[in-house]
Amino acid sequence: MDYNQVILITGGAGFIGSHVIRKMLIQYPDYLIVNLDKLTYAGNLNNLKDIENKPNYKFENIDINNEKDIQDLFEKYLFDGVIHLAAESHVDRSISNPGEFVKTNVVGTLNLLNVCRKNWVSFEDKCFYHISTDEVYGSLGETGFFHETTSYDPRSPYSASKASSDHLVRAYGHTYGLPIKISNCSNNYGSHQFPEKLIPLIINNIQNNKPLPIYGKGENVRDWLWVEDHANAIDLIFHKGRIGETYNIGGHNEWTNIDLVNLLCDIMDNRLSNPNGESRKLITYVKDRAGHDLRYAIDASKIQKELGFTPSLKFEEGLTNTVDWYLNNKKWLDNVTSGAYQNYYHQHYN
Ligand code: NAD
Ligand code: TYD
């Protein structure tokens, strides 16, 4: 079959990537979608079980640190676009192992940029789209928002590595004319998120009657966005966003960690028919994260005005759907929390 476009999505077996792949396959049946993923602890092909046999979907088990393998892939497929999500993504892991983050997030991104530059004979109608985070802007005080023009001020090894990769992507745009786009999104939540991140970790711990660790006083604020809304924004930017531009994506949905965990406890009590307040008893304040950013909040007016993006789901509804997904997919959770997860958990939380 002649495909309208051949798209490379990196990190497609991860949390956000699997939602993006599913969305693209449904929305664009005339595209060939190639998923490049190393399958680290965070990558899981079970996330894509329902679509793995589609004729216009291919999986390639490749590490972006291996430039030769990426080059071979570009000789196998004539890509029109790249949506780059592959990354080490967890702040706590970056604090204990920063080198891995520099390798994948910085050098891996550089490898992809080099291969695109070398193989795309003409840049016309091509697009290298880098998926990034609002954490590159640093930390806000009690007021204000991150705008696209906010100066970079990354403060964790994770955000520093993502900031470096953003800079490289922009530099390839300016220096070589590579057609690039970047988006910086706030915290995502939804199905298939690895339970090292706050929301699935709390759901998993309540199910297992384990303490719910709250860093510091629980006063840090995050702006939460449903992962499907992020996938919608990525689709809009990839197809309609302007080359060379940056778009901030957020949920207009700020919560302190403690308020969020209390809400999750109440939803879980309701779903598990626990007495009211039962799950809240598990809340345990623990040592704060080193360099813990106080507050993230996004001004998403540019993507709203230019591309018509607004989040579709109310947080309480999205969180309830998310709880239901984890309760209905206990096998998924059991699979990913066996083995290496136990070591990580004990090392990090003891
Ligand atoms: P994730 O950790 O769930 O998934 C990352 C994926 O990348 C996994 O499938 C993993 O196997 C793959 N990967 C890791 N190293 C690789 C390598 N060297 N080569 C090839 N594949 C590799 O992450 P996520 O939460 O889905 O985040 C995806 C992207 O979105 C990341 O770039 C992250 O920085 C960005 N982002 C995430 C959030 C969030 O809230 N989760 C918010 C904004 C931006
Ligand atoms: P996380 O999901 O790791 O996302 P990020 O650090 O990228 O924002 O954490 C969200 C918030 O929850 C953050 O302020 C740290 C806090 N947190 C806890 O209080 N306890 C935990 O066990 C975890 C994992 C996070």
Q: What is the CATH number of the domain that holds 282?
A: 3.90.25.10
Q: How far is the C-alpha of 116 from the C-alpha of 77, rounded, in Å? A: 12
Strand partners, 249: 185
Assigned domain for 325 exists? yes
Asked whether residue 139 falls in the same domain as residue 213, the answer is: no
Q: How far is the C-alpha of 306 from the C-alpha of 241, rounded, in Å? A: 8
Q: For position 350, what pLDDT does the model report?
A: 81
Asked whether residue 146 falls in the same domain as residue 234, the answer is: yes
Q: For position 1, what pLDDT does the model report?
A: 75
Asked whether residue 207 falls in the same domain as residue 329, the answer is: yes
Asked whether residue 230 falls in the same domain as residue 258, the answer is: no
Asked whether residue 284 falls in the same domain as residue 157, the answer is: no
Structure token pair of residue 257: 């960690």
Assigned domain for 299 exists? no
Which one is catalytic: 135, 223, 229, 254?
135
Asked whether residue 165 falls in the same domain as residue 284, the answer is: no
Residue 158: CATH number of its domain: 3.40.50.720
Encode the chain (350 residues) as per-residue pLDDT tens digits.
789 999 999 999 999 999 999 999 999 999 999 999 999 999 999 999 999 999 999 999 999 999 999 999 999 999 999 999 999 999 999 999 999 999 999 999 999 999 999 999 999 999 999 999 999 999 999 999 999 999 999 999 999 999 999 999 999 999 999 999 999 999 999 999 999 999 999 999 999 999 999 999 999 999 999 999 999 999 999 999 999 999 999 999 999 999 999 999 999 999 999 999 999 999 999 999 999 999 999 999 999 999 999 999 999 999 999 999 999 999 999 999 988 999 999 999 98
Is 344 a residue of the active site?
no
Assigned domain for 81 exists? yes
Assigned domain for 85 exists? yes
Cα separation values, 141 from 138, 163, 257, 287, Å = 10, 20, 15, 21
Asked whether residue 233 falls in the same domain as residue 140, the answer is: yes
Q: Where are the alpha helices (DSSP H) in the chain?
A: 15-27, 67-76, 91-96, 98-101, 109-119, 157-176, 198-207, 227-240, 257-271, 301-307, 315-328, 330-336, 340-349
Q: Does pTM top 0.85 for this prediction?
A: yes
Pocket, ligand 1, Cβ cutoff 6 A: 11, 13-17, 37-40, 42-43, 63-65, 85-89, 104, 108, 131-133, 162, 185, 187-188, 194
Q: Which of 85, 183, 92 is nearest to 133 (CA)?
A: 183
Asked whether residue 137 falls in the same domain as residue 203, the answer is: no
- Pocket test of ligand 2: the residue of 186, 189, 257, 283 to mutate, having most ligand atoms within 8 Å of its CB, is 257
3-state secondary structure of 110: helix
Asked whether residue 177 falls in the same domain as residue 277, the answer is: no
Query: Burial, 220: exposed, middle or buried (Cβ in 10 Å; 0-12, 13-18, 19+)?
Result: buried
Assigned domain for 306 exists? no
Assigned domain for 307 exists? no
Tally of structural domains, the chain: 2
Asked whether residue 85 falls in the same domain as residue 44, the answer is: yes
Asked whether residue 70 falls in the same domain as residue 102, the answer is: yes
Q: How far is the C-alpha of 302 from the C-alpha of 285, rounded, in Å? A: 38
At residue 219, what are phi and psi to the nearest 5 degrees? Answer: -95, -5
Asked whether residue 117 falls in the same domain as residue 260, the answer is: no
* Range of the structural domain that residue 25 is part of: 5-189+225-249
How many angstroms does the Cα of residue 85 sit away from the middle of ligand 1?
5
Assigned domain for 348 exists? no
Pocket, ligand 2, Cβ cutoff 6 A: 91, 187, 197-198, 201, 213-215, 220, 222, 257, 289
Assigned domain for 185 exists? yes
Q: Which of 56, 61, 85 is nearest to 72 (CA)?
A: 61
